Structure 1
Amino acid sequence: MSLIDTLQADADSIATLRRDIHAHPELCFQEVRTADLIARQLSDWGIPIHRGFGKTGVVGIIQNGNSQRSIGLRADMDALPMTEHNRFAHASKHPGKMHACGHDGHVAMLLGAARHLAQHRDFDGTVYLIFQPAEEGGGGAREMIKDGLFDKFPMDAVFGMHNWPGFEAGQFAVCDGPAMASSNEFKVTIKGKGAHAALPHLGLDPVPVACQMVQAFQTIITRNKKPIDTAVISVTMIHTGEATNVIPDTCVVEGTVRTFTLDVLDMIEQRMKDIAEHTAAAFGCAAAFEFHRNYPPTVNHAREAQFLRSVMRELVGEANTLEFEPAMTAEDFSYFLLEKPGAYFVIGNGDGSHRISGHGMGPCTLHNPNYDFNDALITPGAALWVRLAEKWLA
């Protein structure tokens, strides 16, 4: 592994910043303290900043030479609405809020890279440091774009990195094409007619309608979708009834749909609507179908992914440069990739053995109350950002 001496020397101070952010988690569009910390550090290092993109977003600019070429490096900075089980000194000080996805570490890696790039400027062009709010459901990337991110900062390409438990610490992985799925929610309200449970013939029971509907939705996956296309329909909530001897008036069915392409998503939405409405009608009921599209698929651009792969190999070697298996989780970095060429990739977070005494007993996986970012990633993660920027702007 060929890392950078100055980054290793700065690792402890950057880790201190990371733990400070971890101890003070902020939810989407509320990242005021985090944004202040980022802005203060960048300013102290002589990096011009712009604030207010996506409400709390921060953009730093590092320029050198005369080239018009530019690159964007993105780190998300929001936390999750969940209670931390860890008990170490930097555990969350705000009950019900936790950095359980490592965004504190993402900020730290990009800050480490920013400091080195500002000090050495071994490139010709412009590096845009994008500290993005509200990845966890708020669509912060979309909001930064709406606020003119790419109009004011017309970067040639943009890249995003996420830590990934399970891979060895410091390994990197990227793929061509889809990396993350689209995220979508559905809600079906089945309207029947309430009655005494002992006199079911006097009512229209929405519960068996819901049962038929849940089973029928899976036929979309097995019979309407091409077998080689990837998609998931998961019914995760069914709400109905108030008493054991009452047939309810309504039953609500909710869940999520994930796909790697918009064509498959279009098909699934239409088929779900048809099945919901016609299944309800077959039982004499009615169905109100709602479908909400959250994040689009995160689809890497092949040229940029291959360029990134070559930087990884040079930094950590062939054995530590892996192919990322696309995941059905979602990422709002997808909005950036709809506007600009680029790629989304991961850095291994290890198996959890890095956690110090006082951590929870559960697994160190994303969105788990026992999670903690591995500070050993700060140096290789920052080094990857540095080398990517330098080589892109070479």
Structure 2
Amino acid sequence: MSQASNQFAGIQDFDDRAAELIDMRRHLHAHPELSFEEHETAAYVAERLERWGYEVTRNVGGLGVVGRLKQGDGGRSIAIRADMDALPIQEATGLPYASTTDGKMHACGHDGHTTMLLGAAEYLARTRHFNGVVNLVFQPAEEAGKVSGAQAMIADGLFERFPCDAIFGLHNHPGAPAGTFLMRAGPLMAAADTAVITIAGRGGHASRPHLTVDPIVVAANLVMTLQTVVARNVNPTETAVVTVGTIHGGTASNVIPESAEIAVSIRSFSTEVRGLLESRIRDIATSIAAAHGASVSIDYERGYPVVINSEEETAFATAVVRELVGEEKVGVCPMIPGSEDFAYFLEHKPGCFLRLGNGENSAILHSSKYDFNDDSLTTGAAMWARLAERFLSV
């Protein structure tokens, strides 16, 4: 590592605060709050930022907190985001710091994300080795699914009230070694859409199917035909997923019901494929129903868009993490079919969403056995501090 790179924050600068970061993370883990209910978490974050000298704005987009710190006369500004909400899952880790609230737990690592950014916040306020403006965005309701915290903060004027040249975010990555980073420019995480298809037939006695229009048969045909959308309509060089997650219809074996319903999860990585999937699903559902004498109504809801990392900011972030942990601990992230509302921020500002290893033996995200890996706390905090310093170099 060059002497120039040594002037910025390193992991060793956080060694003496490792225990404090662990205590902070485990406190947040033990006190999870669901989307748009993060009252105590937001207060916890805001109080610490105020103590360290940040200009703090609460209740941005509901319960969002933004900490602003200005140093020098530099004209550049950066935004760094951490999410704060937990999930409606009963924790089954048996850890001494497990959730104290039944039915709620930090099963996605947002407790760790918040802690790492708080660790960087304290360091930046204490050292002030940057020239410009740091905006630390603590976001509620990433898990909301629709009308999420990112959307709410943007609608509440996030980027007008706290201008920035670029925005950065991070998510932990189970399966990758702790302390390693996975990077990818361009599409990283999928758009997530949902279609609920209701089939209206004509019910009757199971012994007289010729007098009915059986919506169960229509649903069965539809489930199988939808599997051809990706296989036969999407370019093989593209990536997409169409999954029928639920099917409901009927109450008894000797009754043909009036209606049936299926719900479909749709994932894509480009605007063109996203549009193609919707078009084909609508056409197939309508055509199959008509072929059987039935009709359909389709509730097609577009969810989070594709997370698309900008080339320049991803190259910059990649250089920062390589300086921090070494070339051997930085890899290329595969495209991830999961979704993330950080995508909304990237529709307004250039930026990069990183992945930080949570351990090769980590439980998967949204599992009742999941826990954020405390070994990553100092690495993540140092990375955010260094990235801010480098972006706003004196």
Calculate the TM-score normalised by the size of structure 2: 0.96
The CA distance in 2 between the partners of 1:90 and 1:143, in whole Å, is: 31
Segment drifting more, 195-204 vs 328-337: 195-204
Q: Per the alignment, in what secondary structure is the counterpart of residue 159 of structure 2? A: helix
CA contact (8 A) 1:61 1:127 kept: yes
Counterpart of 1:342? 351
Equivalences for residues 354-373 of structure 1 within 5 A = 364-373=363-372
What's 1:300 paired with? 309
Root-mean-square deviation (CA, aligned residues, Å) is 1.1
Q: How far off is 1:351 after superposition?
A: 2.8
Deviations 1:133-179 (A, max 9, x none): 10012411111000000001110000001111111110011101011
Structure 1 residues 257-311: Cα deviation after superposition (integer angstroms, max 9, x where no partner): 0000111111111111111111101001111111101100000001100011100
Code of the aligned partner of 1:372: D
Contact 2:181 2:354 in 1 (8 A): yes
Answer yes or no: is the 8 Å Cα contact 1:49–1:58 preserved in 2: yes
- Say yes or no: does 1:172 pair with 2:168: no
- Unmatched 5+ residue regions in structure 2? none
User: CA offset at residue 218 of structure 1?
Assistant: 1.9
In structure 2, C-alpha distance between the alignment counterparts of 1:44 and 1:266, rounded to whole Å? 48
> Which secondary structure does the structure 2 equivalent of 1:50 belong to?
strand
2:58 counterpart (37, 42, 51): 51
Offset from partner CA, 1:201-229 (integer Å, 9 cap, x none) = 11110111111111211222122211111
Deviations 1:91-131 (A, max 9, x none): 01111111000000000000000000000010100111000
1:260-279 equivalence runs, <5 A: 260-279=269-288
Is the CA contact (8 Å cut-off) linking 1:11 and 1:112 kept in structure 2? no
Corresponding residue of 1:97:
104
Picking from 224, 228, 252, the partner of 2:233 is 224
CA distance in 2, matches of 1:73, 1:312: 15
Shift of 1:365: 1.5
> Please, which moves more after superposition, 192-201 or 334-343?
192-201
1:267 match: secondary structure = helix
SS at match of 1:43: helix
* Aligned partner of residue 183 in structure 1, secondary structure: strand
Does the 8 A contact of 2:64 with 2:139 survive in 1? yes
- The question of whether the paired residues in 1 share the 8 Å contact of 2:11 and 2:324 is answered with no
Match for 2:126: what amino acid? Answer: Q
2 CA distance for matches of 1:72 and 1:393? 11
**Letter of the structure 2 residue corresponding to residue 24 of structure 1:** H
CA distance in 2, matches of 1:49, 1:368: 34
Q: 2:196 aligns with which of 187, 192, 201?
A: 187
Aligned amino acid, residue 345 of structure 2? F
Q: How many residues get paired?
A: 384
Q: What residue is the counterpart of 1:359 in the other structure?
A: none
How far, CA to CA, are the matches of 1:316 and 1:256 in structure 2? 37
More divergent stretch after superposition (273-282 vs 134-143): 134-143
Match of 1:288 in 2: 297
Of residues 127, 140, 158, the one that matches 1:149 is 158
Equivalent residues of 2:67, 2:135 under 8 A apart: yes
By how many angstroms is 1:54 displaced? 1.6
Contact kept in structure 1, 2:13 and 2:382, CA below 8 Å: no
Aligned pair 1:71/2:78, yes or no?
Answer: yes
Q: Which residue of 2 aligns with 1:112?
A: 119
1:31 to 16, 24, 38: 38
Q: Indicate the residue corresponding to 1:389 in structure 2.
A: 388
Shift of 1:90: 1.0
Bigger mean CA offset, 302-311 vs 138-147: 138-147
State how far apart, in whole Å, the 1-side matches of 2:363 and 2:296 are.
42
Pick aligned residue for 2:29 from 22, 29, 32: 22
Aligned residues of 1:69 and 1:125 also touching (Cα < 8 A)? yes
Any idea what SS the aligned residue of 1:339 has?
coil
* 8 Å Cα contact 1:18/1:105 also seen in 2: yes
3-state DSSP class of the match of 1:340?
Answer: coil
| Deviation string, structure 1 residues 18-74 (Cα, Å, up to 9, x no partner) | 111111110101000000000111111111111111200000011111011001111
Partner of 2:15: 8
Give CA deviations for 1:299-350 in whole Å, capped at 9, x if unaligned: 0001100011100111111100111111000000000000000010111011
Provide the C-alpha distance between the structure 2 equivalents of 1:160 and 1:380, rounded to a whole number of angstroms. Answer: 14
Q: Which one-letter code corresponds to 2:313 in the other structure?
A: E
Specify the alignment match of 1:203 in structure 2. 212
Cα distance in structure 2, aligned partners of 1:165 and 1:257: 23
Contact 1:113 1:383 in 2 (8 A): yes
CA offset at residue 383 of structure 1?
0.6
Amino acid paired to 1:370:
K
The share of aligned pairs that are identical, in percent, is: 47
Q: Measure, in 1, the Cα distance between the counterparts of 2:357 and 2:82.
A: 16
Structure 1 stretches (4+) deviating beyond 6 angstroms?
none
CA distance in 2, matches of 1:330, 1:365: 15
In structure 2, the residue matched to 1:83 is 90
2: CA distance, partners of 1:6 / 1:227: 47
